Structure 1
Amino acid sequence: MKISKLTKDKLLEIKWFSSIGEKVDFTDMILANSLNETGEFLAAPEWENVTLEESNEMSAYLADKFTDAYQHWNDVAKEAKLFFENDLKGKIPHLNDIDNTLLVQCVEWDVTHYLIEDFYKEKLKKPLFFYKLLSIYECGHIPCGWLGEWPNGKLVVY
């Protein structure tokens, strides 16, 4: 096992979506107005591009600076995806007024990359993007979009 049990346990303890729609206490974030709007943000190419860019940046940095350690990327990603599918996916509640397939896919992407970040955290530049997304999930919200030109702008949550 490459992913720490402590990290997996942390994910299993999250009360997924328990505070959606409630005011957020983060000054650098914007609250989406509804689950329907949250779904629109999740489906937007801008949000996909932001999360993909962060994943690519992490991968490229590790490949360039820590070539030997980077060789484990695919194994860690595979373990993370299996953990999500076998242990975590069933804990993600079904919500009305949103495409739940899309929502679960987005959570899986974020969690998988969080687990990869956690595995490589000692080697990566800070701040860690997917760690931030996970902190939003831990607060019961859904990180769902970005307003502004990346990396300037604000994260959208619901």
Structure 2
Amino acid sequence: MKTLKEFYAEQIAEIAWFSKCGEGADFTLHYEYSCLNNWREAEKSLNSRWDNFKLEIRNGLTVALHKEHLEAYRQWNSITLEAKKLLKNGVLNDISLYAKNNHLNESVYESVEWDLLAAMMEHAYSPYIMPGFYTRLLNVYQSGHIPCGWKGKWPEGQLLVF
């Protein structure tokens, strides 16, 4: 398995952030998705409902680890600190600058930060729990887009993408 640093370097560090936003999405995703038209729509979808939705999914990872892999789960805080350090010293600077230069709401930065951290945690625990939702969201970012919300009831429904 790749280290967290290797995963970051290979899967996150080279993303062309938001380079295809506003263009049609052309990627394969495990979920149905629909495209939003502009940053205003994207920002409107990056709300507490979306945050709570993502929190519930991330909590699924921590609950499974706590129940079935307690020893591994005890490393959660130290792994989180390592992942946060990699992100803060790297791509989060670019994302923050992009958001400021384009007068975007802070919710854009916060959503991306959460998603990237959660994807790194899914990777770190992939020997124990199959990576899922956040690893798939990473594919959206890698395609130059941003996941912005969920329409419908989980797991049916559609991912909203800009």
Paired residue for 2:151? Answer: 147
Match of 2:16 in 1: 15
**1:47 is the counterpart of 2:53:** no
Contact 1:36–1:97 (Cα < 8 Å) also in 2: no
Q: Kindly, what percent of the aligned residue pairs are identical?
A: 34
The residue number in structure 2 matching 1:6 is 6
Using the size of structure 1 for normalisation, the TM-score is 0.90
Selected match of 1:87 from 81, 86, 90: 90
What amino acid maps onto 1:9 in structure 2?
A
Match of 1:116 in 2: 121
* Equivalent pairs, count: 154
The answer to whether the Cα contact below 8 Å between 1:3 and 1:76 also exists between their aligned partners in 2 is no
Q: Are 2:161 and 1:157 equivalent residues in the alignment?
A: yes
Shift of 1:125: 3.6
Cα shift at 1:151: 2.0
**Cα distance between partner residues in 1 of 2:104 and 2:147:** 14
Taking structure 2 as the reference length, the TM-score comes to: 0.88
Structure 2 unaligned spans of 5+: none
1:134 corresponds to which of 133, 138, 149: 138
> In structure 2, how many angstroms separate the alpha carbons of the residues matched to 1:54 and 1:83?
23
Unaligned runs of 5+ residues in structure 1 are none
RMSD, matched Cα:
1.7
Choose the corresponding residue for 1:105, options 83, 86, 110.
Answer: 110
